[in-house]
Structure 1
Amino acid sequence: MLSLKHVYFFEAGIGILANTFLLVFHIFTIHQMHRPRPTDMITCQLAFVHMVMLLIVLYISSADMFKSLGFPNELKCKVMLYVSRVSRGLSISITCLLSIVQVITISPSSFYLSRFKQKLTKHIAIAFFCICCFSLCSNSNMIINTVAHSNRTNLLNVSKYCSLSSINSIVRALYRMINLSQNIFFVGMMLLSSMYMVIFLCSHQRKSEYLHTMSISPRTSPAKRATCTVLVLVSFFVIMYCVDSIISFFSAVLWKYEPVVLGVQTLVGNMYATVSPLVLISSDKRIVDILKKVINICQFFQESVK
């Protein structure tokens, strides 16, 4: 169990560093560009949400850090678990928003959603505000149900210090229905947008093969690279979400969290927040060019010293 804890500490550390780098890069990019890409704004939001989510998990998992603040344990539990649940809700909704925006970006002028291209930045701000408000409201039950850990038998332990109290079955079913409907909607929109992007990529591949037969050298367009990146992110998120949902379902049915199960769920739940910035960094030509220049400078200095 100690080694498992070290693993997700390492996972959280890598994710925090990668998301911080991605966030800083896109903040400078948005600040310098008069008309930043819509996907840059969404990537910035996603990196910030994932960084907060990983920091919260790191804080909750560390006993020394949890004892560091002078607030009552119950208040810290309520704040930490509420922010954690809200950030997870924002992660799925912003990923969904990213896939929809990419569909709008690559869609031809005859496509219905192409009319939003001109004011896409404004629509993104409105959409982000709406999903933030919805996520804050839909997870409000965490403030009421979260309590500090005790020896009571009707508590569901979610960490060493925090637990969830049992509530009325009707209220619990209502909140579960809201969260389930929200997640089904976002995952469904991701799958629909992914189907469209797959069709776009297949069409683009046929066009590239045709250009190749005409002795014209095909080049991978930025739109195709960005579409492939979003497709990878959405696919990976759906897989991790399904695995996490299966673990959560059995834990909720049994109303019991085993330490090993909790550790595995923490690993799975944080996997997307850790991997997504690495995928976005490796697929962004601007970042890759900067990293190559840094590597070349370092090699030049090493050769100079020798």
Structure 2
Amino acid sequence: MDVGNLELGILFLAQTGVGIFGNFFLFCFYSFSLLTGYKVKPTDLILNQLVLANSLVLLSKGITQTIVAFRWKYFLDDAGCKLIFYFHRVGTGVSIRTVCLLNGFQAIKLNPSICRWIYFRIKSLKFLGFCCFLCWVLHLLINLFIAILVSGPLNSKNSTVENNYEYCSWIKPDSQLSVYTVLYYSPDLLSLVFMAWASGSMVLVLHRHKQRVQHIHSHTHSSGPSHEARATRTILILVISFAAFYFVYTILTIWMTLVAHPGQWNVNISVFVASCFPSFSPFVLILSDARISQLCFAYRAETI
């Protein structure tokens, strides 16, 4: 194993390990909150789905690419390749839809006039649970086409298999599949447009609110941001980071899908970018959730 592959393997291992740890911690925390009712918030259900989707992305591609970086090839058969790519696509799709749902939830909460019917529904965990369930079902169904495009590396003798990713092969699509690829990414583009609109709406509402109560804050000497402002800031950080990482990942994925022999370096970059948000987002949520810091301080006080 050369030094470059060793460093790459350590990089993927660190990224995947840290991301899985952060998401597992949040999954346990949100599950505990939902099951016990400990200071439960409606967004806990949405965020619990987000960490599940992030974990699925890391477990599918992150671990696989780490193994490849350590030069262990051909460890997956045809069925294994199809499952790895399938669950990665499902996790990525659920992640973008969950960020979209979280963004829309906060926008409607700040400005109920957007849709008053949904404003009263989003307070119900059953309604949010149905939205989360529908999100998983839709992505489990629309990603079934992966079984057509992906095959094991040992099947690359077929002339239609153009892109070899060392552990799996990706069939170069014909004109019809190329159209399907464009149609497949169209909902993602619409989701990004919706997130941009919802984020702009939240910023505008908070800006107007700040102007209206500025004189009140000056009299009460309250310089800290409100709870809603902190929650919105956290969601905006998640949205902006997700949009940036996903945009780069989508460009790389479309290019590698339509172009033969993209090169292993491009594959590594694509997987690394795809795993950035799942590894980065849980720590944004951990640092911004006051309940977690309260639990940590309470535990520290008991041990002293």
SS in structure 1 opposite 2:166? Answer: coil
Q: Deviations over 1:93-122 (max 9, x none)?
A: 1110110111122224xx132332332233
- CA distance, structure 1, for counterparts of residue 184 and residue 50 of structure 2: 20
- CA distance, structure 2, for counterparts of residue 57 and residue 253 of structure 1: 20
- Aligned with 2:141 (options 133, 137, 142): 137
Q: Deviations over 1:186-236 (max 9, x none)?
A: 111111110011112212332452213334535422211111100110011
Give the total of aligned pairs. 294
Residues 1:116 and 2:118 are matched in the alignment: yes
Residues 1:237 and 2:242 are matched in the alignment: yes
- Aligned with 1:269 (options 264, 270, 274): 274
Shift of 1:55: 1.0
- Aligned with 2:108 (options 96, 101, 104): 104
Give, as a single letter, the amino acid of the residue that structure 1 aligns with 2:169.
Answer: S
- Aligned with 1:169 (options 175, 180, 186): 175
- CA distance, structure 1, for counterparts of residue 31 and residue 253 of structure 2: 35
- CA distance, structure 1, for counterparts of residue 255 and residue 73 of structure 2: 31
Aligned partner of 2:190 in structure 1 is 185
Does the 8 Å CA contact 1:60/1:159 hold for their aligned counterparts?
no
Residues 1:210 and 2:219 are matched in the alignment: no
Shift of 1:32: 1.4
Aligned partner of 1:160 in structure 2 is 166
Shift of 1:167: 4.0
Shift of 1:243: 1.5
Shift of 1:133: 2.4
Q: Structure 2: state its 5+ residue gaps.
A: none
Residues 1:19 and 2:23 are matched in the alignment: yes
Aligned partner of 2:99 in structure 1 is 95
Does the 8 Å CA contact 2:74/2:166 hold for their aligned counterparts?
no
Does the 8 Å CA contact 2:178/2:258 hold for their aligned counterparts?
no
Aligned partner of 2:13 in structure 1 is 9
Q: Deviations over 1:140-190 (max 9, x none)?
A: 1111221110343542446322111234321x1232122221111111111
- CA distance, structure 2, for counterparts of residue 94 and residue 14 of structure 1: 21
- CA distance, structure 1, for counterparts of residue 38 and residue 116 of structure 2: 22
Residues 1:292 and 2:302 are matched in the alignment: no
Aligned partner of 2:79 in structure 1 is 75
The two structures have a TM-score, normalised by structure 2, of: 0.87
Report the aligned-residue RMSD. Answer: 2.5
Does the 8 Å CA contact 1:78/1:142 hold for their aligned counterparts?
yes
Aligned partner of 2:204 in structure 1 is 199
Give, as a single letter, the amino acid of the residue that structure 2 aligns with 1:169.
Answer: S
| Equivalence map 1:240-255=2 (5 Å) | 240-255=245-260
SS in structure 1 opposite 2:141? Answer: helix
Does the 8 Å CA contact 1:138/1:178 hold for their aligned counterparts?
no
Does the 8 Å CA contact 2:152/2:167 hold for their aligned counterparts?
yes
Give, as a single letter, the amino acid of the residue that structure 1 aligns with 2:20.
Answer: I
The two structures have a TM-score, normalised by structure 1, of: 0.87
- Aligned with 1:52 (options 38, 51, 56): 56
- CA distance, structure 2, for counterparts of residue 297 and residue 189 of structure 1: 46
Shift of 1:67: 8.8
Residues 1:226 and 2:228 are matched in the alignment: no
Cα pair distance change 1:215/1:136, threshold 3 Å = closer
